[in-house]
Amino acid sequence: MPQKKVRKAIFPVGGLGTRFLPATKAMPKEMLPVVDKPLIQYAVEEAQAAGIEDFIFVTGRGKHAIEDHFDVSFELDTMLQAREKSDLLSVIRSWMPSPGQISYMRQMEPLGLGHAVWCARNLIGDEPFAVLLADDLVLSKTPCLQQMTEVHAETGGSVVAVMDVPREHTNRYGILDIERDDGRLASVRGLVEKPDPADAPSTLSIIGRYILQPQVFEHLDKQEKGAGGEIQLTDALAATLGSGPFNGLRFEGRRFDCGDKAGFLEATIAFALSRSDLAPAVRDIIKSYVDA
Ligand code: UTP
C-alpha cells in the first residue's frame, strides 16, 4: 500500500542553549553558523531536499533572529540589486521557502522536546510528519531526511535516524531496544531515554531526525514528565510501539552534535574541509597547529 507522503516538518527551536552561553544570551543557538550558514538553515535545506512543503518552527523568547533569517531583508536586497550583486542575492534568497510555507508556534515554556513537538499538533493534523533538531548536523551524500523518507515510503510507520554510540554515552541519548536488525534497518520493540550504560538495551541511539505518526500526540497530550523532569519525545514514542511499524535507520553520513562545543568545532572543521573553496587553506591551518 502506498504510504502517505511526509509533507510537514517541525523544527523545535525553543531550547535555551545554556551550553553555549554567553554566545546564546541574545542569539538563538540555532543561528550559530557552521562556516557561513546558520544551523537552522542546514536543517531547512535538508528538509527541502526531502520534499517537505510545510516548515513549522516551535520557537520561544529571544528567537526573532530565526524569523528574520527566513524573511526578505528589504534593505539588503535593494542594496545588492543596486550594486548588481546577483550572486549574493542568490546566497540570501535562493534557499528560502515560499511565502505561506513557514509557520511559527511559541512554546511559551521550554518544558522539553516532547512538549515542543506537542505545541505544533494543530498544525500537523492527521498525517505523518518529520522532526528535525537543527543542533544535530549531518554531513552525507544523500541528505539524512531524504534517506529516511525513502525508507518511510516502503515501510510506513515511524522511522528514526540512529547511530551506534560508545556504551558509556548511552545516558546522553534515546536508546533502542531492537527486535530485528539487518545492519541498516533495525526494527524497534522498545525505547529508553538516557539509560545508564549498565541498563541500556543496546548502543543504538536516536539522533535528531524523526518521521512520526500523528498518534504520538495522544501520548504527548498526557504531558508526563520523564528523564530530567522534561516532557520527553522518546517516552511518547515508546507508548506508540505496537501500533505500526517502527524502524531505526543507520543513515549514511556523519552526525555532529552542535549543541556541544567540541561537536560544534568538529562540524566547523568537517564542513570547511568538505568545501573546495576552503579545504586547502583549512588543511594548511590545521597542519600548522598539529606541527607546532
Ligand atoms: P537540548 O537538549 O539541546 O536543549 O534540546 P537546549 O536548551 O537547546 O540546549 P542546552 O542543553 O541548554 O545547551 C534539543 C533540541 O530541542 C529543542 C532545542 O531547541 C533543541 O533543538 N527544545 C528543547 C525545544 O524546542 N524546547 C524545549 O523545551 C527543549
- pTM of the predicted structure, to 2 decimals: 0.95
Cell numbers 520557537: residue:
59
pLDDT at 227: 83
**Confidence (pLDDT) at 94:** 87
Q: What residue's CA is closest to ligand 1, atom 15?
A: 133
Distance CA 24, CA 222 (A): 31
17 ligand 1 Cβ < 6 A: yes
Percentage with pLDDT > 70 across the chain: 99
44: three-class secondary structure by DSSP: helix
* pLDDT band of 3, cuts 50, 70, 90: confident
Which residues is 187 bridged to in the sheet?
180, 247
Across the chain, what does the average pLDDT equal?
A: 94
Indicate if the pLDDT at residue 291 is higher than 80.
no
Average pLDDT over residues 139-162: 97
> What Rg, from alpha-carbon coordinates, does the chain have?
19
| pLDDT-based confidence at residue 205 (cuts at 50, 70, 90) | very high
Neighbours of 221 (CB within 10 A): 11
pLDDT in tens, 249-283: 999 999 999 999 999 999 999 999 999 999 999 99
Long-range CB contacts (< 8 A, 24+ apart) of 103-107? Answer: 103/54, 103/55, 103/56, 103/57, 104/56, 104/57, 104/59, 104/67, 105/56, 105/57, 105/58, 105/59, 106/14, 106/58, 106/59, 106/60, 107/12, 107/14, 107/58, 107/59, 107/60
Q: Is the CB of 16 under 6 A from ligand 1?
A: yes
Distance 15 CA to ligand 1 centre (A): 4
CA of 21 to the centre of ligand 1 (A): 13
Residue nearest to atom 23 of ligand 1 (CA): 15
Please determine, for residue 161, whether its predicted confidence score (pLDDT) is greater than 90.
yes
Q: Which domains does the chain have, with CATH numbers?
A: 8-259 (3.90.550.10), 260-292 (no CATH)
- pLDDT, tens digit (0-9, with 9 covering 90-100), for 108-118: 999 999 999 99
Q: Which atom of ligand 1 is nearest to the CA of 111?
A: 28
Q: Tell how far the Cα of 60 is from the centroid of ligand 1, in angstroms.
A: 11
Residue 135 in contact with ligand 1 by CB distance below 6 A: yes
Question: Using CB atoms within 10 A of its CB, is residue 129 exposed (0-12), middle (13-18) or buried (19+)?
Answer: buried
pLDDT of residue 63: 87
**pLDDT average, residue stretch 25-33:** 95
Atom 5 (ligand 1) nearest CA: 15
* Mean pLDDT, residues 164-172 taken together: 94
pLDDT of 184-197, one tens digit each? 999 999 999 899 99
User: What was the pLDDT predicted at 13?
Assistant: 95
